[in-house]
Amino acid sequence: MSTSPATPQRVTWHSHYALFMLATIYVFNYIDRLVVSILIEPIKQEFGISDIQIGLLSGVAFAIFYTIFGFPFGRLADRIGRKPVIALACIAWSAMTMLCGFATSFAMLLLFRIGVAVGEAGGTAPSVAMVSELYPPQKRSRALSVFLMGPSLGAVLGLGLGGWIAETYGWRTAFIVIGAPGVLLGLIFLFTVRSPRIVVPQPGTGSTPDEHWRSTLRSLLATPAFLLVVAAGTLAAVMGYAVGTWNPSFLIRSHGLTVQQAGLLVGLGGGICSTIGTLMCGSLTDRMVARDPGWQLIIPMVGCLISVPLGLAFYLWPTGIAFNIGALPVPEAFLFYLGFSFTAIWWAVPCFGAISHLFPPNRLGQATALFVMSMTLFGVGLGPLVVGGLSDLFTDRVGHEALRYALASTVVLYVLTAICLLSALPRYRRRLLGSTALMAGAPARA
């Protein structure tokens, strides 16, 4: 038995409806976050900005403000409940996405993207905590896999639909149309979803509902398994956000596709494979963890190691068209990306699930917030910026192929991710065994 949220008495249709709404909101969270990546080229053309400025727009500025507000929103959700925080955050980031379509300068667009970041800071961590409270531990990875389809489906809709709207009606219209549904979703969620009851921790677990935030933070940072999982997720996020931001531009520059064609391939092809990979990973994790809790971290480690050669092949494979789907050319290299998309997402569900097993309910929102904050600060903040900087640096040597080599350089971060997970594995097992001993009244190991 872990220190994770208490097992719900039963899972009802209210649980499934709440999960459906949370997953839908998370899809739009990522649509609003990712749509800027398919709009990079027209935004660059209109405002006359460099790749490193695009990295600032899609990365650093977003990450800094997301990080500043992430932990306070996580703590607020632990204290007043998840539902109001999630609903108001959804409304806020969606409205800010719409305002991006009205920007008349790079500075104004940057300001509105900061608004998107502040709103999204109140979304992910409270949502993960709420999913963990809706479902018992033995079903939690499956539930989290449904929720964490957000990035994959967000890529399908944000890149595919965003690219089509941008090419047909302009990049400003893409921001407005994609942002609008989130305002309605936030209101529906607020008035129709039932919140699960946050269970007060049992005496002797070292946690009280009203503990000071400094005590909570010290406790979280004193858990080695948690810190290593955070490090693993952060490294994976640096690579993931770099890839997610720059892949459409890579296909445009190196393989000669249009904005719409690149959006369709990355959004539909990559997004569908990522969605299938996420669901399969959640189901596999629940089955394997029933035999040995260590599989919670072994599965993401295996996914990372498989992804490295697939990612390198995608970026370094020479230009050439494998076949056409109607008028849509499919580069040979893109076939490797389909496999990469399937396995590269395997780290997310198990890592979020591991955190839900490590901490009690009144710390879970804050623990998840720290995890997401680190991923966002370094992933969103450094990923796009580093690739943009490397691309500018490599341009003098390899010209328009600079982005190809900049992206290939980031794939090796998955090796470091696997090393962190391997280091976390024995500590994670000891933590769960210590929690079991504590619940049974035996002395827990430090």
Report how many domains make up the chain: 1
Tell me what the mean pLDDT of segment 415-423 comes to: 97
Name the pLDDT band for 163 (thresholds 50, 70, 90). Answer: confident
**Predicted local confidence at residue 211, as pLDDT:** 64
Quick check: is 446 in a domain?
Answer: no
**Predicted local confidence at residue 93, as pLDDT:** 95
**Predicted local confidence at residue 373, as pLDDT:** 85
d(CA 78, CA 67): 17
**pLDDT of residue 330 exceeding 80:** yes
Give residue-wise pLDDT tens across range 267-323. Answer: 788 888 988 999 999 999 999 998 899 999 999 999 999 999 999 999 999 989 999
Contacts 24+ apart (CB under 8 A), 323-329: 328/261, 328/264, 328/265, 329/257, 329/261
Element (H, E) at 165: helix 162-169
Quick check: is 83 in a domain?
Answer: yes
Angle between helix 40-47 and 224-255 (nearest 10): 70
Q: Do 208 and 375 contact (CB within 8 A), yes or no?
A: no
Backbone angles phi, psi at 2, to 5 degrees: -105, 180
Quick check: is 265 in a domain?
Answer: yes
50 vs 325, which has greater pLDDT?
A: 325
Determine the residue type at 161: L
Give residue-wise pLDDT tens across range 345-392. Answer: 999 999 999 998 898 877 888 888 899 889 888 887 788 888 888 898
**Predicted local confidence at residue 294, as pLDDT:** 92
Q: Do 127 and 82 contact (CB within 8 A), yes or no?
A: yes
d(CA 82, CA 434): 28
Quick check: is 444 in a domain?
Answer: no
Domain of residue 416, residue span? 18-195+213-439
Q: Mean pLDDT score of the chain, rounded to an integer?
A: 86
d(CA 401, CA 407): 11
Question: Cα separations (Å) of 157 from 22, 101, 109, 268, 340?
Answer: 17, 18, 22, 8, 19
Residue % of the chain over a pLDDT of 70? 91
Q: Tell me how crowded residue 393 is: count the other CB atoms within 10 A of its CB.
A: 13
Quick check: is 62 in a domain?
Answer: yes
Quick check: is 329 in a domain?
Answer: yes
Q: Which residues contact 180 (CB under 8 A, 6 or more apart)?
A: 94, 98
Instruction: Count CA atoms closer than 13 A to 352's CA, side-chain side.
Output: 30
d(CA 46, CA 104): 10
**Predicted local confidence at residue 369, as pLDDT:** 86
Angle at 153 between CA 60 and CA 28, to 5 degrees: 60
**Predicted local confidence at residue 197, as pLDDT:** 64
Tell me what the mean pLDDT of segment 412-422 comes to: 95
DSSP string computed for 244-303? HHHHHHHHHHHH---HHHHHHIIIIIIHHHHHHHHHHHHHHHHHHHTT-TTHHHHHHHHH
Question: Cα separations (Å) of 34 from 68, 78, 201, 263?
Answer: 20, 28, 38, 11
Tell me what the mean pLDDT of segment 129-158 comes to: 84
Give residue-wise pLDDT tens across range 78-104. Answer: 888 899 999 999 999 999 999 999 999
**pLDDT of residue 140 exceeding 50:** yes
239 vs 400, which has greater pLDDT?
A: 239
**pLDDT of residue 198 exceeding 70:** no
Looking at residue 202, the DSSP 8-state letter turns out to be P
d(CA 104, CA 167): 19
Quick check: is 306 in a domain?
Answer: yes
Q: Do 129 and 140 contact (CB within 8 A), yes or no?
A: no
**Predicted local confidence at residue 386, as pLDDT:** 85
Rounded to 10 degrees, the C-alpha dihedral 276/279/284/285 comes to 130
Quick check: is 318 in a domain?
Answer: yes
Q: Residue 42 is part of a domain; what is its CATH number? A: 1.20.1250.20
- From first CA to last CA, the distance across the chain in angstroms is 17
Element (H, E) at 431: helix 413-439
Sign of CA dihedral 243, 247, 253, 259: negative
- Rg, C-alpha atoms of the chain: 21
Give residue-wise pLDDT tens across range 430-442. Answer: 888 776 544 444 4
Q: Scanning the structure block, which residue is given the tokens 């027209």?
A: 42
**Predicted local confidence at residue 445, as pLDDT:** 40
Residue % of the chain over a pLDDT of 90? 43
Question: 213-217, 237-241, 375-379: which has the highest mean pLDDT?
Answer: 237-241
